[in-house]
Amino acid sequence: MYSILVVDDDELGRSMLKLFLQDAGFMVHSAVDGAEALQTARSEAPDVIITDALMPIIDGFELCRQCKMDSSLRHIPIIIYSGDYDREEDQRLGLSMGAFRYLLKPSSAETIVKTVNEALSESILTPRTDSDSSLDEQMQVLRSYNEVLFNKLEAKMQQLEESITRHQKSEEALKVMHSQIIQQEKMASIGQLAAGVAHEINNPMGFISSNLTTLSRYAERLDEYIARLHQSLESCPSHPDTEEIDAMRKKLKVEYIISDIRELVNESLDGATRVKRIVQDLKSFSRVDQAESCRVNLNEALETTINIAWNELKYVATVERHFGDIPDVVCYPQQLNQVFLNLLLNAAQSMEKPGSITLRTWSDDSGVCVSVADTGKGMPEEVRQRIFEPFFTTKEPGKGTGLGLSISADIVHKHAGDITVESEVGQGTTFTVRLPLASPTIALK
Ligand SMILES: Nc1ncnc2c1ncn2[C@@H]1O[C@H](COP(=O)(O)OP(=O)(O)O)[C@@H](O)[C@H]1O
Ligand SMILES: [Mg+2]
Q: How many other C-beta atoms can be found within 10 angstroms of the C-beta atom of residue 64?
A: 26
Half-sphere exposure (CA, 13 Å, Cβ side) for 168? 6
Band of pLDDT at residue 329, cut at 50, 70 and 90: very high
CA distance 149 to 352: 63
Neighbours of 339 (CB within 10 A): 28
Q: Which ligand is nearest to the CA of 423?
A: 1
Fold (topology level) of 290-435: Heat Shock Protein 90 (3.30.565)
Integer Cα distance of 22 and 112 in angstroms: 12
407 Cα nearest atom in ligand 1? 17
| Cα 216 versus chain centre, distance | 56
Q: How far apart are CA 34 and CA 99, in angstroms?
A: 14
Residue 41 dihedral angles phi and psi, to the nearest 5°: -60, -40
CA distance 198 to 289: 13
Backbone angles phi, psi at 244, to 5 degrees: -60, -45
Over residues 347-373, the pLDDT tens digits come to 999 999 999 999 999 999 889 999 999
pLDDT averaged over every residue in the chain: 86
Instruction: Look at 92-96, 135-139, 208-212, 286-290 and tell me which has the smallest mean pLDDT.
Output: 286-290
Ligand 1 centroid–CA 387 distance in Å is 6
Averaged over 79-98, what is the pLDDT?
81
Query: How many angstroms does the Cα of residue 170 sit away from the middle of ligand 1?
Result: 25
Cβ atoms < 10 Å from Cβ of 119 = 23
- What is the rounded average pLDDT of the residues 238-265? 87
> Mean pLDDT throughout 322-342?
91
The answer to whether residue 132 scores a pLDDT higher than 70 is no
Residue from 385, 387, 411, 424 whose mutation best tests the ligand 1 pocket (most atoms within 8 A of CB): 387
CATH 3.40.50.2300 is held by the domain 3-132:
yes
**Which of 388, 393, 407 has most ligand 1 atoms within 8 Å of its beta carbon, as the pocket-test mutant?**
393
Residue 346 confidence (pLDDT): 95
pLDDT-derived band at 290, boundaries 50, 70, 90:
low
The string of pLDDT tens digits covering residues 253-284 is 988 998 899 899 989 988 888 888 778 777 76
Q: How confident is the model at residue 184 (pLDDT cuts 50, 70, 90)?
A: confident
Q: Write down the pTM of the prediction.
A: 0.57
What value does the mean pLDDT take over residues 193-197?
A: 78
Q: Over the stretch 146-176, which tens digit does the pLDDT of each residue have? A: 777 787 788 888 899 999 999 999 998 888 8
Neighbours of ion ligand 2 (CB under 5 A): 346, 404
Please list, residue by residue across 387-405, b when 16 or more beta carbons sit within 10 angstroms of its beta carbon and e when fewer do.
beebeebeeeeeebebbbb
Share of the chain above pLDDT 70, in %: 95
Task: Kindly report which listed range (49-53, 242-246, 312-316) carries the lowest average pLDDT score.
Answer: 242-246
**E strands present in 291-404:** 294-296, 317-323, 329-331, 355-364, 367-374
**Ligand 1 lining (C-beta closer than 6 Å):** 342, 346-347, 350, 374, 376, 378-379, 383, 387, 392-395, 400-406, 429
Kindly report, residue by residue over 8-44, the tens digit of the pLDDT.
999 998 998 999 999 889 999 999 999 999 999 999 9
Lowest-pLDDT range, 132-141, 170-179, 190-199?
Answer: 132-141
Whole-angstrom distance, CA of residue 34 vs CA of residue 16: 18
